[in-house]
Amino acid sequence: MYPFLGILGLASFPPTDHASPFAGRNFLISVKQSSKNEVCRRSTRDRQPGDLLVIGVLLVLTALPDAMVVPILEELLVGRYDVDPGLSHAFISINLLGGLCALPLLRIAMRRGRPILAVAIAAVADAALLAAMWLPIGFGPTILLRAVEGAADVIVFAVVFDLIGQAGGRRGAGLRFGFGAALLSTALGGGAILGGQLADGDAGSGDVARAVYLVGASACLLAGIIAFVCRNRLRRLEGVAAECANEKPEPPPIQIARAPLWPLMLMAGADRAAGGLLTGTLGLFLAEAVGLAPSLRGGLIGSVLLLMGLGAIPAGWVSDRFGDLRVRAVGGVTFAMGLFILPIAATDLSSLSAMMLLLGVGGATLLPTSLSLLDRLHGGLVSMGGFRAAGDIGFLVGVSVAGFLVHMLGDGEASRFGYASVIAGFAIMHLCCTAIVIPLLARYDRRTSRGSD
């Protein structure tokens, strides 16, 4: 940020009075530095629409394999390796925890200035790992490869969403992140549907179901090729930027501190924990405590997830107009209130549908505004990776804690109260995170606004 302050008029230029014998030389150096900074700024922010299209293709291709395996764990692991269904869930959790290993790799990629090349390598590695899982290597090696694959997933996510932030000016960041969130949700939903369709075509041998590994590997390999071919086009800063990095610009009088990363990570963890509740515990609540038919349960939950995904685009646009922090606060409160009231409204189908709609509208604001705040108040590849890793841990903890609490609170007649208590508890947790994070980020937001005036 500091090299750009000369352009914004915040850097103190040397005096140009004729009494100083170095006045003319200092002024020329100052103008030269400002021109170089302007070139750096343009090369970072002025992207072409084709660049955003390439980034979107990379996002879709690398996200597809993540969800393809989720609905067919029975065919991929239980039937193939004769393991316990509960143990097969380690296939999901170990992938989330493996993402923590990506943070040191992201720091290396950032220092070397080759993030696009890191995406290409990670995508090709992901393809190789998925292809290896297709082989009959046993349950233990499969879980180990799945953990390594989690690191590749986080690297791709961090670089791709960092590039989305770099693909234009600040005023359109919310809309760009909204498109990214919508593409991510669509790819995950499409991957789950594709995985289920492949498993339905299996005759019982499991060969067709295991083809999801090869389909996912093909998608990741194609993403790696595209990233490598387009690496020069998407590379953030090369020639002029490397020269700018070697310069030592004059320190500005105003030092604007970045927001700490932990509130943004806490926000990501709370969002994903609530998301895990929606995709897991809520379906069980509607089935066991409310008694809804499978088609009705699927329609209600699917509509919420679809609204959260596609609604991210208008939510991002609104955040550009009214402020990402303000929209995040309103959306977070709306989502938490909808989640809290949902068990009470579950007795009536129309009220339940209205609460699902409220959940979808509030949830649509969460990811685009979080990414926009992260990019604007902190930024960087490592922070994007930390954000993703925190979200994965939140999802894992949310699913595990919700399942444990529901089990402890009782079965039969007590199950409705148990489910309602767990859902209400998660709603309060999410609301408390919003109450903690928003005022803290607002303080840094005001500092940034004063510094850019």
- Gap between the Cα atoms of 95 and 111, Å rounded: 26
**How many C-beta neighbours within 10 Å does residue 388 have?**
25
pLDDT at residue number 238: 38
**How many C-beta neighbours within 10 Å does residue 180 have?**
26
**Burial tier of 130 (Cβ tally within 10 Å: 0-12, 13-18, 19+):** buried
pLDDT at residue number 37: 44
**Burial tier of 3 (Cβ tally within 10 Å: 0-12, 13-18, 19+):** buried
> How is the chain split among helix, strand and coil, in percent rounded to 5?
85, 0, 15
pLDDT at residue number 244: 43
CATH number of the structural domain 47-246: 1.20.1250.20
- Gap between the Cα atoms of 276 and 255, Å rounded: 40
pLDDT at residue number 95: 78
pTM for the model stands at 0.77
Q: Write the pLDDT tens digit of every residue in 346-382.
A: 888 889 889 999 999 999 999 999 999 999 988 888 8
pLDDT at residue number 71: 67
> Per the structure block, which two tokens stand in for 150?
């989690």
pLDDT at residue number 204: 60
Q: Enumerate residue ranges in the chain where pLDDT < 70.
A: 1-49, 70-71, 73-74, 85-86, 89, 113, 201-206, 235-257, 410-414, 449-453
Q: Write the pLDDT tens digit of every residue in 261-289.
A: 999 999 999 999 998 888 778 877 888 77
* Rg for the chain, CA atoms, rounded: 24
Q: Which CATH superfamily is domain 263-452 in?
A: MFS general substrate transporter like domains (1.20.1250.20)
Question: Which residues are within 8 A (CB) of 433 and not within 5 positions of it... i.e. 6 or more apart?
Answer: 266, 267, 270, 332
pLDDT at residue number 256: 56
Sign, Cα dihedral of 374, 314, 269, 440:
positive
